[in-house]
Amino acid sequence: MHEAELEKLYEEMGRNHLKPLWAAERSIVPVEPQPKAVAWLWKWSRLYDFARRAGEMVTLDRGGDRRAMGLSNPGLGGLPYATPTLWAAVQWLNGREVAPAHRHTPQAVRFIIEGKDTYSTVQGDKVYLERGDFVINPPWYWHDHGSEGDTPAVWMDGLDIPITNYLDASFFDLGSKEVQDVTAVVNGSVMKYGYGQLRPAWEAPCQKYSPLSTYKWATTERALNNLAKADASPFDDVALEYTNPHTGRPVMDTLTAWIQMLRPGIHTKAHRQVNTAVYHVFEGRGATVIGGVRFDWEQGDIFVIPTWAYHEHINESKTERAILFSIQDTPILVALGKYREEALSTGGGHQQVKKTFDADKVLAHK
Ligand code: GTQ
Ligand code: FE2
């Protein structure tokens, strides 16, 4: 057959909106993931400064109703997404301020970085928030946040906005009331459901969403300290997943969240997974080697681990623990039968470090 005839065939197919798989090399069904998102790290000093300045200049009103600054992965061509599946943002609330009630189909989790006299009311359930608390916000649940003291509140949001938009499934509803009616005892969710192995006897287990809207830091820290005495993962050290206490399942269908402690002197083994993660350094300092690049981090920093990249965590301190909070898209991959993980089999389970990440240098070279 003539090359020219074949070209003509493809060209005619193209005009009829048809694509030959056999002529597309392997790009349609790659032999392994070809992620566009890159490993990246945002320094807390800058995140905080930008959020604080937005707090001074931007008012919250019923149009632009959240002062949330999205982390935009430099590999995603300007999209406001941290990974192809995860929206991650730093949200700032000034003292005596209200982020008005709304609801939407994207599902959310929050991790409180600074907060005093701050609350979030989720579907009528008002809970006061402190540093280290973890909050869940199921899809289409009303939520408003507020600060009743004079100090600002800062937290990290994790939402499945990219997935929701990819599926063209986003709905948003601005409430008629700025602040929801509180329909339960204040902090009631924590008091009723905050002891995961016990449930009010007259209620049925909650199958779909965790009845506990806020996972308090004191409980989480105790769980970490006790797990450390009993067991640990070679890849993640002392790691816990937040779950629905009634089912043991991740708190959302599209994303899950972890809290992990790297004990002093720990250097974990490298592995890679088909999932993406956004990490926030809650406490301490250390480093994560991602795809052969060393990312040094300290308290507050936020970093991304893209899919199928080897990663290992290091806490070089001899005395201080490091604590990492993360959101991960693993439940989607698992539900769809696409999750994989693999330990690094060379180098004694450790990667060769080729360079150290510096956001400004990467940008300067572009
Ligand atoms: O706090 O309700 O980061 O609706 C993005 C969308 C936070 C929120 C975000 C939201 C919120
Ligand atoms: Fe929201």
For 101-117, what is each residue's pLDDT tens digit?
A: 999 999 999 999 999 99
Ligand 2 center–CA 41 separation, angstroms: 25
In this prediction, residue 23 carries a pLDDT of 87
Task: Tell whether ligand 1 has an atom less than 6 A from the beta carbon of residue 91.
Answer: yes
On average, the pLDDT of the chain sits at 96
Higher-confidence residue: 129 or 365? 129
State in Å, rounded, how far the first CA of the chain is from the last one: 45
Ligand 2 center–CA 284 separation, angstroms: 30
In this prediction, residue 146 carries a pLDDT of 96
Task: Tell whether ligand 1 has an atom less than 6 A from the beta carbon of residue 192.
Answer: no
Residue whose token pair is 């974990």: 268
- pLDDT above 50 (res 76): yes
Exposed/middle/buried for residue 364 (C-beta within 10 Å: 0-12, 13-18, 19+): exposed
Task: Tell whether ligand 1 has an atom less than 6 A from the beta carbon of residue 157.
Answer: yes
Q: How much of the chain, in percent, has pLDDT values that exceed 70?
A: 98
Sequence-separated (6 or more) residues with CB below 8 Å from residue 211: 189, 192, 193, 203, 244, 245, 246
- pLDDT above 50 (res 366): no
Q: Which ligand number lies closest to the CA of residue 164?
A: 1
Atom of ligand 1 lying closest to residue 137 CA: 2
Residue 258 one-letter amino acid: W
Residue ID of nearest Cα to ligand 1 atom 5: 68
Ligand 2 center–CA 3 separation, angstroms: 56
Residue ID of nearest Cα to ligand 1 atom 1: 66
pLDDT confidence tier of residue 26, bands split at 50, 70 and 90:
confident
User: In a mutational test of the pocket of ligand 1, which residue from 65, 90, 91 has the highest number of ligand atoms less than 8 Å from its CB?
Assistant: 91
Task: Tell whether ligand 1 has an atom less than 6 A from the beta carbon of residue 143.
Answer: yes
In this prediction, residue 34 carries a pLDDT of 96
Strands laid side by side in the 238-241 sheet: 40-42, 302-305, 277-283, 322-328, 256-262, 238-241
Average pLDDT for residues 283-301, to the nearest whole number? 98
Atom of ligand 1 lying closest to residue 70 CA: 3
